[in-house]
A and B are shown apart, each in its own frame.
Chain A
Amino acid sequence: MSGTLGNRIPSYALAAFVTLFFAYLLLPSLIIVPMSFSGQSFLSFPPSGFSLRWYQGLAADIVWRSAAANSFLIGIPAAFIAVVLGTLSALAVERGALRWSMTAMALIVAPMMLPHVILAIGLYPVMLDLGLLRGYLGVIIGHAVVGLPLVFVSVSAALRSYSPALELAAMTCGASPLRCFLHVTFPMIRMGIAGGGILAFAASFDELMLALFLTGTGTRTLPRLIWEQLNDFLTPIVAAVATLIFAFSLLLLAMLAVFGRATRSMQASLPLASAEASARG
């Protein structure tokens, strides 16, 4: 279509719609930031006074600090497991010439698609039997399960971005399967792996449902603590936490953009995949 839309909607009306739309999309995230600097101890809008006491309170509060630490202690190993298993499954599906590859893909992606609450009440007795309940390992495994599809989608896209003939050529040149992976496959997909890893980490960091069921008081993650606080009292301290997490998410998004530039084909699937994961928690 050339020039304007060509139909009768005047362009300023469309621009207005779009602006309102993006305002709607960004409103809640942005509102929290000023709230965190409020001088009052209850949440009202507009916030009055300016104070950093909530941030100071956070830094001093052992409960919040340990929850934040737990989120990292759980997120990083979970992302690592998801990366290893997700990459293996992507290699199998994209290079393994399986006859039932469609089914395999559907099954691998399923944890990302189905409601976390069902998995949570399913994993609870399993972890109970294994004695992993309320410890770190149980929730790490749970988060690895929901992170795996994210890595799978990301690495699959990277594998699809080049021809499998490259690996065949490497083998013809004398590279054993291991050397083939090291010298050809890995350099081509490492951005996809990194991107998938970040997504898996972000999904774990934001995940609530599995954390509710599988963590104990000692291993509580940030989302779980926020949830408990929200139900009990609303003070700007939660807004402060939220602002910090928001800033951290933006940082992750920026990192992802850097990796995403390396593999163009990822860009469509990645953000969608990540968001699905975070919404399900």
Chain B
Amino acid sequence: MALPGEAAGRRVWTFQRGNALLLLPPGLFLIVFFFWPLLRVVVRSFVEPQLGLENYATVFGAGPYLRVLWTTIEVAGLVTLLCLLLAYPLAYFVSRAHGRRLKLLMIFVLVPLWTSVVIRSFGWMIVFQRQGVLNEALQSLGLTEAPVTFLPGPLAVYVGMVHIMLPFMILPLVASMRGIDRTLLRAADVLGAPPYRRFLEVFLPLSLPGVSAGVALVFMTSLGFFITPALLGGPRMLMAAVLIEEKANVQLDWGLACALATTLLLITTAIYLLYLKLMRRDASLPVR
């Protein structure tokens, strides 16, 4: 007389089922302290100061807010592009290193990464301020006579943000490049491809998964960036995170802050979903 296992409702314990249950505590924690707060932000944007789309009308209507959003996207985009252009050759160089040299290079990449963002931004302030490093250098070289105001300003913001974001671009690129099978390049050699074509038609396409992951990552991070634009940007280069903080903390206009945040959330989530899609295709990249 056979007793059907699952059919009779008798749940047989397995190792897998037991482990799956472990997701409950962190799951609950994240629901209460991450997803629920996010939901509240979204809801609040439609509810405060009164029910309706008033806040969004303000954001998308005539006024500086839309400009801020555009600036955020523009800056994030340009920073991403600059990072890519700078990081690609460097990543190539690092990916070809071995042993101790590789470790040393990786340390050089990781040290700025591990230095506090606040501190690095502060460092750039010292570089760009009126009595700062750059002005001193320019004046001593005779290129300018009086101190130039870099701070606050676009040059400082871009230099600062690219600096912070570079390791985010370098690391996925290095990971991806190191994963490229060297024998493919040798095959290209044997088949008669000159070096630049081997690069264009074999290496570059194979490095694209790393490129797209790095681009998505840097773009996503730049969109939500606060510290560097706040310290180096000033009112002309106002970015979303800075604006949201000001609206909420300083001006106490929470409804508008939530609306801006929701918009930022939507954009960032869209990029995040894209990033996830790209991740799935390349197993050699971190954060599977």
Q: Please say whether chains A and B are actual partners in one complex.
A: yes
A interface with B by C-beta (< 8 Å): 1, 5-8, 14, 17-18, 21-22, 24-29, 31-32, 35, 42-46, 84-86, 88-89, 91-93, 95-98, 102, 104-111, 113-126, 141-142, 144-145, 148, 153, 156, 160, 167-168, 171, 177, 202, 205-206, 208-209, 212-213, 223, 226-227, 230, 234, 238-239, 242, 245-246, 249-250, 252-253, 268-269, 271-276, 278-281
Quick one: given A44-B131, A114-B265, are A269 and B286 in contact (CB under 8 Å)? yes
Please tell me which one of the listed residues A29, A205, A209, A226 contacts residue B123 in the complex, with CB atoms under 8 A apart. A29
Closest to A249 in B: B114
* Interfacial chain A residues near B167, Cβ < 8 Å: 25, 271-272, 275
Bound CA span A242–B86, Å: 27
* Minimum distance in angstroms from A212 CB to a CB of chain B: 7
- Whether A122 touches B40, Cβ cut-off 8 Å, given contacts A43-B126, A96-B19, is yes
Contact A118 B175 (CB under 8 A): no
In the complex the two chains form, what is the Cα distance from A271 to B175 in whole Å?
A: 12
Q: Establish whether residues A45 and B26, one from each chain, have CB atoms under 8 Å apart when the complex forms.
A: no
Given A88-B23, A275-B167, A279-B117 in contact, is the A32-B221 Cβ separation under 8 Å?
Answer: no
Asked whether B22 lies within 8 Å of A96 as measured between CB atoms, the reply is yes
Residues of B within 8 A of A141 (CB): 33
- Kindly state whether residue B112 has any CB partner on chain A within 8 Å: yes
**Inter-chain contact A46/B22, CB cutoff 8 Å:** no
Q: How many Å from the CB of B245 to the closest CB on chain A?
A: 6
With A27-B123, A27-B127, A43-B131: A148-B26 Cβ-Cβ less than 8 Å:
yes
What is the 8 Å Cβ interface bit string for chain B, positions 20-60, against chain A (1 contact, 0 not)? Answer: 11110111011001111111110010000000000000000
For this complex, 24 residue pairs linking A to B, each with C-beta atoms less than 8 Å apart, are A21-B90, A28-B112, A29-B111, A29-B115, A32-B123, A43-B131, A89-B22, A97-B16, A97-B19, A97-B20, A98-B23, A104-B23, A115-B264, A115-B268, A118-B244, A121-B258, A126-B36, A145-B33, A171-B15, A206-B116, A249-B114, A252-B114, A272-B171, A278-B113
Question: A111 touching B221 by the CB < 8 A rule?
Answer: no
Q: When the two chains form the complex, which single residue of B39, B117, B221 contacts A206, counting CB atoms closer than 8 Å?
A: B117
Residue B237 CB within 8 A of the other chain: no
- Known A117-B241, A212-B249; judge A280-B124 contact (CB<8 A): no
Cα distance A274–B125 in the bound complex, in angstroms: 24
Stretch at the interface among B1-9, B63-71, B222-230: B222-230
Determine if B168 is an interface residue (Cβ-Cβ < 8 Å).
yes
Taking the closest CB of chain B, its distance from the CB of A113, in whole angstroms, is 5
Residues of A within 8 A of B190 (CB): none
Given contacts A88-B25, A212-B249, A272-B286, contact A29 B220 (CB under 8 A): no
Q: Are B127 and A116 in contact (CB under 8 A)?
A: no
The size class of the interface chain B forms with chain A is 35 or more
Residues of B within 8 A of A (CB): 15-23, 25-27, 29-30, 33-41, 44, 86, 89-90, 93, 96, 108-127, 129, 131-133, 136, 163-168, 171-172, 175, 182, 185, 195-196, 199, 217, 220-221, 223-227, 231, 240-241, 244-245, 248-249, 254, 257-258, 261, 264-265, 268-269, 272, 275-276, 280, 285-288
The answer for the CA separation of A91 and B27 in the assembled complex, in Å, is 13
Binding site secondary structure of chain B: helix
Given A32-B122, A88-B23: A119 in contact with B15 (beta carbons within 8 A): no
Chain B, Cβ-Cβ closest to A109: B287
Whether B261 pairs with A111 at a CB distance below 8 angstroms is no
Select B132's contact among A45, A104, A121, beta carbons within 8 Å.
Answer: A45
Bound: A168/B15 CA distance, A: 8
A85 touches B108 (CB 8 A): no
Which of the residues A102, A168, A209, A230 comes within 8 Å of B280, measured between beta carbons? A102
The distance in angstroms between the C-alpha atoms of A43 and B124, with both chains bound, is: 12
Name the distance in Å between B178's Cβ and chain A's nearest Cβ. Answer: 9
A242 touches B40 (CB 8 A): no
Chain A contacts for B275, CB-based, 8 A: 113
Given known pairs A31-B133, A35-B126, A116-B226, the reply for A271 and B110 (CB within 8 Å) is yes
In the bound complex, residues from chain A placing their C-beta under 8 Å from that of B114 are: 202, 249-250, 252-253, 271, 274-275, 278
B197 to A: closest C-beta gap in Å:
10
Partner of A145, one of B27, B30, B121, B223: B30
